[in-house]
Structure formats: C-alpha cells, structure tokens
Structure 1
Amino acid sequence: MLEKIKDLTKSLGPGFIIASVVLGPGSIAVASRIGSEEGYSFLWVIILAAICMIVYTSMAVRFGVTKKESMLETIAEKYGRWFAVLIGISSFMSASSFQFGNNLGIGIGMEGITGIDERVWPFFFTSLAIMLLFWATNLYKVLEKLMMVLVMIMILAFFVNLLLTAPDLTQLAKGFLPLSLKLDDMDIVAALVATTFAVNGAIYQSYLVQNKGWKESNLKRGLNDSYMGIFFLALISILIIITSAAALKPQGITVNSAADMALQLEALFGSYAKIIFSLGLCAAAFSSLMVNAVIGGGLLSDGLGLGGSMNEKMPKVFTAVVLLLGMLVAVFFRGDVIYALIIAQASTIMSVPLIAIGMYLILNNKQVMGKFRNNPRHNILAILGFLLISFIVYFLYSRLLTFLSTV
C-alpha cells in the first residue's frame, strides 16, 4: 500500500501546477464572498466547471504524451500562424488581467500579517518571481514541489474547519442542484466557473506533460494526475463556499476584506485566524502569480513562433512582462479590492473561446492525433463546455466594461 502511495505521489506534478494557477486569491475571494452572500446555492456551478475542465485538460494530456511539437506550433502549421498568434495574445491578456488579482491578493494578505501598506508588497513579490524565473536551474521542478505542498495545506485547513463549522447538510445537498437561476446571477456563475474552468491552464497542461517527458505509455498516469489536480481544485472551492456559508452567512457578514474572509477560520484558529488566512492567501497568490505569468508568457511566445519552453529566452521575457504589468496595475489601483479580485477572476475566461476552438480542431484532426483523437463523447462534452463559457463571456463583457468605467 505504501509503495502504491509513493508511486502515485511521484506521478503527480502537472495537475497540481495547473490547480495552483487557477486557485489564486481571486478564487478564494470569489468562493468566500459568494458563500457569505448566497450560501450553498451555487455549489453546482463548481461541479459543472470541473467537468468542463476535465474534458479540456484530458484533451491536452492526450496531445502532450503523443506529440513532440507544441500545441500552438501544431495549430499554426495546420490552421495558420494567425490563429496561433490570436490564441497567444488572448492568453497573454487573460494572464495579465489575472495577475492584477494575484498582486492584490498578495498585498491584502501581507498587510493583514504585517500591517504594512498593501501597495508595497507587489514590488517585493514580483521581483522575487522574476529572480526565480531567470535564475532557477530547473523552474519546472521548483514549481511542481512548491505547488503540491501549498495545495495540500489549503485543503487540510479548510477541511478541518469545515468539520468544526457544522454546515446545514440539507441545504448543502440542495446547493449541488441548479434549482433556480436568473440572468442577474450570471456574473456570479461566471466568477465561479473561472475558479475551476480555465482553458488557458488546460492547454498549458500539454506543455507541462511534454516538459515532464511523458510519452504514450504514460497516458494513464498523465490523465490520473490531471483528474487529481482538478479534483483538489474543485474541492478547495467547495470547502471555502461551504465554510463561508456556514460561518459567515448566518451572521450577516459580507466579505469585503481579508479580515472578513478570515472569520470563517475562527472555529479552527481562533484569534490567529486572520494571520493564518492571510498566510494562506499569500501562498495562493504567489503560486498563482508565478505559474499564471509562465502560462501567459509561454503561450504568447509560442503563438508568435518564438518558442514555448521556459528554457528559452523569449518565453521568459514575455513572462516577466506579465509579472510587471500585473504589479503596476495593482500598485496604482484604487477601489473595492474584493470586487476587483472577483472581476479579475472572472475576466480570465475571456480567452477561453479561441483556445477551446483551437484545441477542439487539433484533437479532432485525424492526421495529427490518429487513434488518440476525440471520440463522440469527448466532443459532446467539449461543445457543451464551449457553449457554457461563450454564453458567460457574453454577459461578462458588459460587467467588465461597467467596472472599468468606474476605475
């Protein structure tokens, strides 16, 4: 038994890296705020988003273990460089938007710990990330080990706290059913979908699998790793919603700060809840800040035909640009930080339609994928996921434009 657990641990890696980038401070803020305001009502959205993420990530794994060339290089070869460039640019813009939220999360987390102004910390952590980017001898291995530890710590903390908050099991069960949905709820749905379904992360799974050196014989291992990462990703969001709904909603507390989010951990950590939560928020923010920038910079560079490996120069340069853009916006931002985190989280799905189309075309190309191409079940689920995300993007644009007009 111990040997099987050891082998399973060794096989994990890319799935946890993707989980860590999607699970940033925006995800924590979204889940906490929605749980405190809406209770358990939207738990079903996490399940739906997880299913969509599984479909697209499994597509990326199948490509990664069977092909030597990258996904965007293959798209450029089969459908034109312009298509790969559009995907690269949209991924870069999405990553930059998400990076804004990561920097805000680091700022409010460190201010909660030290009392030092939140605008100071993005400078420090962005500098640390850039140093890691250019001087780490094996960036992939560093990220793999760090993300696995951080994800497991967050799961443990929220699971123990869940046991102490004693949620209403009847209402909790109802939350997994879409009993009612209004058009006014679409911004909530969009933000929650983005906590779990991030196709820019899914497509990058193919790069991580290739970097890991996995081949066709490792397909089952790669799929299991992806499923495990997505399971933990969805589990953390669900745990946060449940604990927030059980601990904050009955008291009428709406999440407007890190201190408000920390109240849900008081059952476990008492007076130390704010510090513990702020540390977790910083850990989530820094892990997401680093990997998110790598994805945005790597996909833009590969889309432009300048290389997609972090061992090459241009992916590192574009990654540094993402880091700096997110830092500058966060430092000069003024407004409702928690709402800004939610908008930044939701805006990550803007790049999804293009990426989803590109992945769908490649995974259905018999010449490219052969026996590993999508089967009818894959295609049905992939199309449903695409329709879901496109519908949400339609509503999100108006919300995002309204928000930007107030900044």
Structure 2
Amino acid sequence: MIKNWFKNIGPGPLIAAAFIGPGTVTVCTLAGVNFGFSLLWAMMLSIFATIVLQEMSARLGIITQKGLSEIIRTQINNPVFKFLAILLMLSAIVIGNAAYEAGNITGGVLGLETIVGNPSLNIGDFSINLLSIIIGGIAFVLLYLGNYKILEKALVALVVLMSLAFIMTAIITKPNISEVLKGAFIPQFPKESLLYIIALIGTTVVPYNLFLHAALVKEKWKSNTDLQFARKDTIVAVILGGLVSMCIIISAASIQSDNIKNTSDLAKGLEPLFGSFAKYFLAIGLFAAGITSSITAPLAAAYVATGCLGWSSNMRTKRFRAIWMFILVLGVLFSSLGIKPIDIIKFAQVANGILLPVISGFLIWIMNKESVLGVYKNTIKQNVFGFFILGISILLSLATLNKVFGLNLF
C-alpha cells in the first residue's frame, strides 16, 4: 500500500513545498510566540481552503491538459478583460515571484547560517553572501535539467526533510496536547490577533500554487481515471504541509520572548531550553523551506508567463528557461548583496492581493462550465465550499491592501 502511494505521488508535495516558504515560517513563528496555541484553528481553516482550491486546480489540469493561465487566455473573449487578466497575472506572479525570490533564498541562508556561520566574499564596498549563491546554484541545476521526475523526487525529499525537522522540533518542546487540540478546534480571537489570522491563511492559500498545480498535474497524469490519485496526492500533501506549519507555531509557543522576530531567532532561543538538537532541527527545516520555495517560485512564474503569452510550457524550451532564470538570478543577486526591493515587494503584494479573489472567482466559474469539464464540473457541495473560500479570499485581499496602504480597515 505504501509502495503504491509513493508510486502515485505527484505534484502535491511540490505545492506543499511552495506554500511553506520562509514567509510562512516567519508568520507561524510570530503567531506562536505572541499567541501560543490559540491561532492553530486558523491553520486548520487554511488547510481546508487550500485542499478545496487545489483540488479544483488539479482537476482542471488533468481534464483539459492545459495550464490555468492558458485556460484564462482562451476562455475570456472580451479583449479588454483578457488584457487586464493577463496583465494582472504577469504582474502578480512573474514580477511578484521575482521580488519574493530574494526572501526565499535568504530564508534558506538563515537556516544554513545557524549551522555553518556566515561565509562571505568582500569585493570593494560589496559583501557577497556565498550561501545565497550556493542555494541559487542548487535551484538552477534542478530547474535546468528540465526533467519533471527528477525535480519531483528532489522536492519530495526536501519536503520530507523539512517535515521531519519541524515535527521533531515540536515534539522536543513537549507541548500540552489538550491545549494544542483546544487551539486547533476552538476558534479564538485574542486581542490584536486578526492580522495574524489573516496572514496565516494568506501564506497558505496562495495564487501562484493554483497555476503551478494545474500545470504540473499534466506532467504527471494524462487520463481522467487518474483523478483519484491526484485527489489523494493533494489531500495528503496539503495536510502534511499544514501540519508542518502547525508544528512551527507549537515550537514557537514554547518560548515567551520579545526578542524573537524570525525562525533564526527561534532556533537560537530553543537551544538553551531544549538543547542543541532543537536548534539544528529548526535550522534544517528553515533551509529546506527556503530552497524548495526558491525552486517552485521561478517554476510557477515560467508556467504563468508561457500560458499567458501562448508559448510552449515545455520545461526545456529556451523561453521557459529564460523566464525562470531571470527570476532566480534576480533573487540570488538581491539576496547575496542584501538588497531589499521594498517598492517591488509592495507592488507584488497589491497584485497578489487583487489576484487571489479574481482567480478564485474565475476558477469557480470555469469549474462549472460543462463545455470545458463535461461530467467533471463542480458539484453543488464543491460550489458551496468554493464560494465560502471566495469570501475568505476577498477578506485576504482587503487585508493585503490595508497592510500596504495603511487604510485602517481592521
């Protein structure tokens, strides 16, 4: 049975790898430090929402054998709406992932620095972080090979490593199980926790994963009968990813300190309480989270761009490679030189904030079109869940715009 599951494992772990990036790790750390176990329920809600949307995305990819951005380009007939949709997707995913890539690589670097220190190369007034170049190099090799099976195996191995690292850290802290269950199943809203709740959901339900999933399932599965494997793959991987996020919150809840701002601080803070093993487990987990996101972000950008522009989405074509290379090189450059492209990140946050409800709404609309999906269109139950999550995505969108522009909506 286990052997059969591994044989049919698909893009699910890649999706989990994509949403557990350094941003998610940092948000989970701060949620645990500031509110203990009381926001675990928000992760449970995130897991449910992610499974619903990613199942739709996977079903669309298998039945149509097309990527989501390609479907959008062909299904929107109005030229003005089509242009706006393509512009929004390219802005949010391509430019957005270029801005976030530096953070993904820096997250992996923080994990390694906790273990090996900070090797750097000084050239004139510039100090280049060598670990950024190493992580970028690993991502480059795996993407350049252009072989889905190799990429899948590498990312599955990194996800397993990341999962074990964070789960072991949580076990080491010996949490109160009854308090953990209470936090997971009884919604609580501690003072000043609303933005953290929205952030926990927002870092798990991410727009670029909807594009990535639809593109990757057609690399793995070609037949409608494979839907059962895709659903199991999605459910298992998203639950595992959510469990990892919950373990980070649980680990962070064991330390009550105002000095913890990120996971690197948490790793150092756990050492005197639980021994050096806790620090190393957490550092390995952060490294794996950084490097997996460093691979999936450029990959998603390439799939979106090629789908929007009507190019081939074959991983070995020059255009496909040129897009992910641009994203990756930019990320390595910003990370190794310590540059923070604040304005680009703000722009990307706005674009992603607008994109999530737009894509969620479009996905529900397209999933109800018999001309596209035939008998595999949404059921009434799937639509009820979908519209519930559409409401959540609108709330997330407002929260993102509130954060960027300081609108004081919350």
Q: Structure 1 length as normaliser, TM-score?
A: 0.86
Aligned residues of 1:297 and 1:320 also touching (Cα < 8 A):
no
Structure 2: how far apart are the matches of 1:348 and 1:102?
17
C-alpha deviations, 1:23-53, integer Å up to 9, x for none? Answer: 1122222211210111111111111111111
C-alpha deviations, 1:276-308, integer Å up to 9, x for none? Answer: 432321222111101111002221221121233
The Cα shift of 1:54 comes to 0.8
Residue 260 of structure 1 pairs with residue 270 of structure 2: no
Aligned residues of 1:95 and 1:296 also touching (Cα < 8 A):
yes
**2:167 alignment partner, one of 156, 159, 174:** 159
Aligned residues of 1:160 and 1:268 also touching (Cα < 8 A):
no
The Cα shift of 1:103 comes to 2.0
**Taking structure 1 as reference, are residues 213 and 395 closer, same or farther at Cα in structure 2, changes over 3 Å only?**
closer
Q: Which residue of 1 aligns with 2:238?
A: 230
Aligned residues of 1:109 and 1:279 also touching (Cα < 8 A):
yes
Segment drifting more, 223-232 vs 291-300: 291-300
Of all paired residues, the percent bearing the same amino acid is 26
- Name whichever structure is richer in helix by fraction: 1
SS of the equivalent of 2:193 reads helix
Q: Which amino acid aligns with 2:255?
A: L
Q: Which residue of 2 aligns with 1:405?
A: none
Q: Which amino acid aligns with 1:180?
A: F
SS of the equivalent of 1:175 reads helix
The Cα shift of 1:345 comes to 9.3
Q: Which amino acid aligns with 1:156?
A: L
Q: Structure 2 length as normaliser, TM-score?
A: 0.85
Residue 369 of structure 1 pairs with residue 377 of structure 2: no
Q: Which residue of 1 aligns with 2:296?
A: 291
C-alpha deviations, 1:329-376, integer Å up to 9, x for none? Answer: 3345468x9xxx9x9999965531232233222211111111111112
**1:383 alignment partner, one of 377, 387, 398:** 387
Segment drifting more, 52-61 vs 343-352: 343-352
Q: Which residue of 2 aligns with 1:123?
A: 133
Structure 2: how far apart are the matches of 1:85 and 1:369?
26
C-alpha deviations, 1:197-255, integer Å up to 9, x for none? Answer: 1232133212111011331111101100011110101010111111221x213xx3542
How many residues are aligned here? 389
Structure 2: how far apart are the matches of 1:371 and 1:44?
35
Aligned residues of 1:203 and 1:355 also touching (Cα < 8 A):
no
Q: Which amino acid aligns with 1:125?
A: I
Q: Which amino acid aligns with 1:218?
A: D
Aligned residues of 1:25 and 1:281 also touching (Cα < 8 A):
yes
What is the 5 A alignment of 1:349-368?
A: 351-368=355-372
Residue 49 of structure 1 pairs with residue 46 of structure 2: yes
Segment drifting more, 256-265 vs 356-365: 256-265
Q: Which residue of 1 aligns with 2:123?
A: none
SS of the equivalent of 2:17 reads helix
Structure 2: how far apart are the matches of 1:59 and 1:257?
33
Q: Which residue of 2 aligns with 1:132?
A: 142
The Cα shift of 1:55 comes to 0.9
**2:329 alignment partner, one of 324, 327, 333:** 324
Q: Which amino acid aligns with 1:388?
A: I
Q: Which amino acid aligns with 2:3?
A: K
Q: Which residue of 2 aligns with 1:187?
A: 195
Q: Which residue of 1 aligns with 2:124?
A: none
SS of the equivalent of 2:205 reads coil
Q: Which amino acid aligns with 1:143?
A: L
The Cα shift of 1:129 comes to 2.3
**1:101 alignment partner, one of 103, 128, 151:** 103
Structure 1: how far apart are the matches of 2:52 and 2:36?
28
Aligned residues of 1:122 and 1:330 also touching (Cα < 8 A):
yes
Structure 1: how far apart are the matches of 2:93 and 2:146?
26
Q: Which residue of 1 aligns with 2:315?
A: 310
Q: Which amino acid aligns with 2:69?
A: L
Structure 1: how far apart are the matches of 2:146 and 2:391?
41
Aligned residues of 1:41 and 1:175 also touching (Cα < 8 A):
yes
Q: Which residue of 2 aligns with 1:216?
A: 224
Structure 1: how far apart are the matches of 2:378 and 2:360?
13
Structure 2: how far apart are the matches of 1:151 and 1:48?
21
Q: Which amino acid aligns with 1:308?
A: S
CA RMSD of superposed structures (Å): 2.9
Aligned residues of 2:19 and 2:206 also touching (Cα < 8 A):
yes
**1:10 alignment partner, one of 2, 7, 12:** 7
Aligned residues of 1:103 and 1:285 also touching (Cα < 8 A):
yes
The Cα shift of 1:117 comes to 5.3
**Taking structure 1 as reference, are residues 111 and 288 closer, same or farther at Cα in structure 2, changes over 3 Å only?**
same
Structure 2, unmatched stretches of 5+, are: 121-127
SS of the equivalent of 1:13 reads coil
Q: Which amino acid aligns with 1:210?
A: K
Segment drifting more, 377-386 vs 287-296: 377-386
SS of the equivalent of 1:150 reads helix
Q: Which residue of 2 aligns with 1:35?
A: 32
Structure 2: how far apart are the matches of 1:44 and 1:179?
8
SS of the equivalent of 1:40 reads coil
Q: Which amino acid aligns with 2:188?
A: L
Q: Which residue of 2 aligns with 1:393?
A: 397
Structure 1: how far apart are the matches of 2:161 and 2:351?
27
**Taking structure 1 as reference, are residues 221 and 354 closer, same or farther at Cα in structure 2, changes over 3 Å only?**
same
The Cα shift of 1:173 comes to 2.7
Aligned residues of 2:211 and 2:304 also touching (Cα < 8 A):
no
**Taking structure 1 as reference, are residues 358 and 326 closer, same or farther at Cα in structure 2, changes over 3 Å only?**
farther
**Taking structure 1 as reference, are residues 346 and 33 closer, same or farther at Cα in structure 2, changes over 3 Å only?**
farther
Q: Which amino acid aligns with 2:40?
A: L
What is the 5 A alignment of 1:16-95?
A: 16-80=13-77, 81-82=82-83, 83-95=85-97
Structure 1: how far apart are the matches of 2:398 and 2:168?
38
